[in-house]
């Protein structure tokens, strides 16, 4: 199935423009895609209703907000614990320091993305949060030395 099956050229232009600048006013967006503001608003509302647009948010600078150290963590769960996956998934939802949690195929179960102030903050997080999560048997930590590319934009 073509991922763009239900989208026409103008829908893709709208998505590309909003992905580049989510604060683009409707009037300017209409100029970019060469449609009337009313038609663009209707399309944007449809794209949101159909789940192509999930929402809008500001991208904050983690360095300025005391969260300059990014850490990825591989988590291997103890599969002998009943319902361990559901318990783990529920537990990670409540911890703001865990920015992303992905179940993965391979040699471990979950990959976490976190942002910390520094290594001391990570040690505190590891002892008080990470190793206390349900079913955690083993973790591997990867502190990011240099963020080479960071984008939320999807190729259209």
Report CA-CA distances (Å) from 41 to 11, 12, 25, 30, 35: 11, 14, 10, 8, 10
State phi, psi for 152 to the nearest 5 degrees: -105, 0
Q: Are 24 and 17 contacting, i.e. CB atoms less than 8 angstroms apart?
A: yes
Over range 48-64, report the average pLDDT.
94
Ordered by where they begin, the domains of the chain are: 9-49 (1.10.10.10), 69-143 (3.30.70.920)
- Model confidence pLDDT, tens digit, residues 123-151: 999 999 999 999 999 999 999 999 999 98
pLDDT at 98 over 70: yes
By C-alpha distance, which of 38, 50, 39 is closest to 6? 50
Q: What is the pLDDT of residues 11-48, one digit of tens each?
A: 999 999 999 999 999 999 999 999 999 999 999 999 99
3-class secondary structure, 24: coil
Confidence label for 4 from pLDDT (cuts 50, 70 and 90):
low
Q: How far apart are CA 29 and CA 23, in angstroms?
A: 10
pTM comes to 0.85
Chain-wide mean pLDDT for the chain?
A: 93
Q: Is the pLDDT of residue 1 over 50?
A: no
Q: List, as own/partner pairs, every contact residues 49-57 make where C-beta atoms lie below 8 angstroms and the sequence separation is at least 24, other chains included.
A: 50/6, 52/7, 52/11, 52/15, 53/15, 53/18, 56/22, 56/23, 57/22
Per-residue pLDDT, 6: 86
């Amino acid at each position: 199935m073509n991922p763009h099956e239900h989208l026409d050229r103008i829908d893709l232009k709208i998505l590309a423009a909003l992905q580049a600048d989510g604060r683009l006013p409707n009037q300017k967006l209409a100029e970019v895609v060469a449609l009337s503001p009313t038609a663009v608003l209707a399309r944007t509302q449809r794209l949101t209703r159909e789940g192509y647009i999930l929402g809008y948010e500001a991208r904050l600078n983690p360095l300025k907000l005391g969260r300059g150290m990014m850490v990825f963590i591989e988590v291997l769960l103890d599969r002998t614990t009943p319902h361990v996956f559901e318990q783990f998934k529920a537990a990670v939802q409540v911890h703001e320091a865990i920015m992303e949690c992905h179940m993965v195929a391979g040699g471990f179960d979950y990959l976490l993305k976190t942002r910390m102030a520094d290594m001391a903050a990570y040690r505190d997080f590891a002892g008080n949060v990470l190793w206390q999560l349900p079913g955690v048997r083993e973790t591997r930590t990867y502190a990011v030395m240099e963020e080479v590319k960071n984008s939320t934009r999807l190729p259209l």
